Structure 1
Amino acid sequence: MSPVALAQAPTTVESDPALVKVLPTFSRDVITKPNLALWVTRDHKIYQKEEPYPSCGPDECVVHVKATGICGSEIHFWKSGRIGDCCVTHDIILGHESSGQILEIGANVKELQVGDRVSIEPGVSCWECDMCIRGRYNLCPKVKFSGTPPSDGTMRRFVAHPARFLHKIPDTMSFATAALIEPLSVAYNAVRRASPYLGQPVVICGAGPIGLATALCARAAGASPIVITDLEQNRLDQVEAMGFNRTLKIDLSWDRLTTAAKIREVMGTDCLPQIAFEATGAASSINSACYALEDGGTLLQIGCGKPEIEIPLMSMGFREVNIITSFRYQQSWPVVIRLVAEGVLGDVDGLITHTFPVEQTIDAFETCADRSKLAIKVQIVDE
């Protein structure tokens, strides 16, 4: 019996003696469950439906996805249908912040085995182009990134994924924590590109999941003091619960100069921000960050916003303010897994505010998109 037939069969897996011999005990019940997947359409709708159990290629593993976080980019794809030049042109499965347990391994897979607990790196690069050869595989023009058009993602119960992009996690790490390795990798890459040093003053604009993850990484790198801004008090309350005591609630009636002055005031230690990590993508936040920086400072742009945004380029030029962008990550998984496992980043689970079972994925998305629900990181889990 094929895996697809198994997933659709009304009988239990024990009814096929041949399959019982190759399947580990832990997977025999779960593999009969429907492979529920969350889809987004080009006309801004989401729906959930059952997919066939995936086939396992020779260089792949089939993973039972145990936890998946909802990213702001997925809300963008749902509500706006695009991020920058990347557009939803056909129905695709979302999801790229996932962890799980291996159910099957391909014939060529040597470093992993059935039962391994893994975090899924979602960007599958070609390993042949110039960018890949130079180690900057996050810029691979042929990359297939889970849940980003045109590639289907990991927001389903079972997924086949190249073994090269599956990373084992310690037995002490929960699947919920392992699903945070992806957003923490975004933050790790941004902090690595900005290279803050011990005692360097930093402002982080936006206290969503990426802003908070960036705060954790910047603090671990030695940045101090750290000011964190946001529009919503509940997010700033979470910031303070995670040990950051310099926060600023933004009032949209402020102009960019007023906001910049208030950021400098909150820093309040006879120093000005030398690095601004902008994690919202909003034009007003980017502009305020530019003016809050000291002369010669660095704006590190992480957040996704509109395809075209005006910035005060001449003012930045007169003050030699640097602009650096950060796109996803590369070679981060082993490092971030180690940092999390050793507690270097602190309580990363504090990012998770809501959890839903896979059968309620649509409810999870609606909660994530509804500001009144006070969500930061929403995760979908499966037993």
Structure 2
Amino acid sequence: MTKTIETNGTSQVDPALLQRPNLALWVNNEKQIYMKEEAFPTCPPDSCVVHVKATGICGSEIHFWKTGGIGDVRVTHPIILGHESAGQIIEVGANVTSFSVGDRVSIEPGVACWECGMCVRGRYNLCPDVKFSGTPPTDGTMRRFVAHPARFLHRLGDDVSYEVGALIEPLSVGYNAVRRAAPYLGQPVVVAGAGPIGLAVALSARAAGANPIVITDLEAHRLEQAKEMGFKNTVLIDMAWDRNEVATKLRAAAGCLPQIVFECTGSEASINAACYAVEDGGTLLQVGCGKPEISLPFMSLGFREVNVVTSFRYQQTWPVVLRLAQSGVFGDVTQLITHKLPLEKAVEALEISADRTSRSIKVQIVDE
């Protein structure tokens, strides 16, 4: 493959880079994942071509692979996975004035239409025509080179690594959930699930002043990771407990009645336990993705005036989350990363992420 790129005279693209194959990780509707080379992307006038340097694996990728979809979103044809990415710009579209070749960026994966009512009101995460990387039918960023609209690229500070740049996406999920619940200084909360999203929620809740913060999980190693990140109040869930037992233990661990429960697993059992753990008049904030339909104790929620709030992706989060990560407000976010593999081993990376015995939290695919 040969590609010639005009540079701005100050930043040069290594010609050897342009000779490398544009490897991509694919999933098809037969629940198969595989590597296949893509053509070098064309660069539309309002876009940039990015050499993707780091991409995190999300639970949604596991869902698309193992179950063929999430809710009504189904894998009906082969698509490229990936939406947690950062990299370096190697080509700039003719209309782009905000970036130059060589700039380091984090990629915001949801490309909205900017014309519908939701976009006009600023809630572009709910745009009905959004093209979200790696979500059917849109190809994702788990490849070496990708073209992406400049409007959805965000410059990284010189001291922000590509690995941190790729974490801005899951951190944005956590930030948006916390913003939806709006915890205040000293408000007691529970975070159900100590995976990447649960820990991202906990980081944002702590930054907002919530205290105490109780984190739960089925896996002891995830709770150990939470403790290493400064969250000492944890509960290892026993699947033999019913929802009332779980609720009792969560309240005991908090030492008070939790006023917000962030449910980050999507498990029906966890959601039901959260319903009973939260204080009367409190808030259940649902973040985790699970089955398309679940049973809820709706009358109990109604009699207790529990607010049930959902959070979907994010909007207008990248600048503030980048600032928080760069300034150290979240602490060392790289503690979320347990495994890093080269692009050529992307299939293995996905297998590690899906294997509960691997003790992984966030697996990233990197490319030099």
Within 5 Å, which residues of 2 pair with 1:122-271? Answer: 122-268=109-255, 271=256
Note closer, same or farther for the CA distance 1:370–1:106 as it changes in structure 2 (3 Å cut).
same
Distance 2:9 2:351 in 1: 40
Q: CA deviation at 1:326?
A: 0.3
Per-residue CA distance 1:265-322 (angstroms, 9 max, x = gap): 1112xx2100000000000000001100110010000000000011111001011000
Instruction: Give 2:99's aligned amino acid.
Output: L
Shift of 1:26: 4.0
Answering whether residue 59 of structure 2 is matched by residue 72 of structure 1, we say: yes
Contact 2:12 2:102 survives alignment (8 Å): no
Letter aligned with residue 318 of structure 1: F
Query: Which runs of structure 2 are paired with 1:1-383 in the superposition (5 Å)?
Result: 5-6=1-2, 24-268=11-255, 271-383=256-368
Q: Following TM superposition, by how much is the alpha carbon of 1:25 offset from its aligned partner in structure 2, in angstroms?
A: 3.2
TM-score of the superposed pair, with normalisation by structure 1: 0.94
Do the aligned partners of 1:27 and 1:103 also contact (CA within 8 Å) in 2?
Answer: no
Residue 336 of structure 1, CA deviation: 0.3
Answer yes or no: is the 8 Å Cα contact 1:69–1:179 preserved in 2.
yes
SS class of match (2:198): helix
Contact 2:7 2:13 in 1 (8 A): no
Q: CA deviation at 1:22?
A: 7.5
Write the distance in 2 (CA, Å) between the matches of 1:208 and 1:26: 37
What do the CA deviations read for 1:19-38 (whole angstroms, capped 9, x no partner)?
A: 69989434322111110000
Q: Matched residues in 2 for 1:299 and 1:207: separation?
A: 17
- Aligned counterparts of 1:365 and 1:245: Cα–Cα separation in 2: 30
Sort the Cα spacing of 1:94 and 1:172 in 2 relative to 1 into closer, same or farther, 3 A.
Answer: same
Alpha-carbon separation, structure 2, partners of 1:28 and 1:173: 25
**Aligned partners of 1:208 and 1:216: how far apart in 2?**
12
The answer on whether the counterparts of 2:91 and 2:101 sit within 8 Å (CA) in structure 1 is: yes
Check whether the contact 1:352–1:378 (CA below 8 A) recurs between aligned residues: yes
In 2, Cα distance between equivalents of 1:180 and 1:102: 18
Q: Which amino acid aligns with 1:122?
A: P
| 1:20–1:28 CA contact under 8 A, matched in 2 | no
Contact 1:64 1:101 in 2 (8 A): yes
Distance, in Å, in 2 between the alignment partners of 1:44 and 1:321 is 39
The two structures have a TM-score, normalised by structure 2, of 0.98
Identity of paired residues, percent? Answer: 67
**Across the two proteins, how many residue pairs are aligned to each other?**
368
Q: What SS does structure 1 have at the residue aligned with 2:200?
A: helix
Q: What CA deviation, in whole Å up to 9, does each residue of 1:6-58 have, x standing for no partner? A: 16xxxxx7xxxx96998943432211111000000111110001111000000
1:62-90 Cα offsets, whole Å, 9 max, x none, are 00000000000010000001111100000
CA distance in 2, matches of 1:182, 1:111: 21
What secondary structure does 1:29 align onto? helix
How far apart in 2 are the matches of 1:59 and 1:120?
A: 15
Q: Unpaired segments of 5 or more residues in structure 1?
A: 8-12
Gaps of 5+ in 2: none
Q: Counterpart amino acid of 1:114?
A: V
Provide the secondary structure at the position in 2 that maps to 1:264.
Answer: helix
Secondary structure of the 1:243 match is coil
Distance 2:7 2:272 in 1: 61
SS at 2:2 equivalent: helix
CA RMSD, Structure 1 to Structure 2 (Å): 1.3
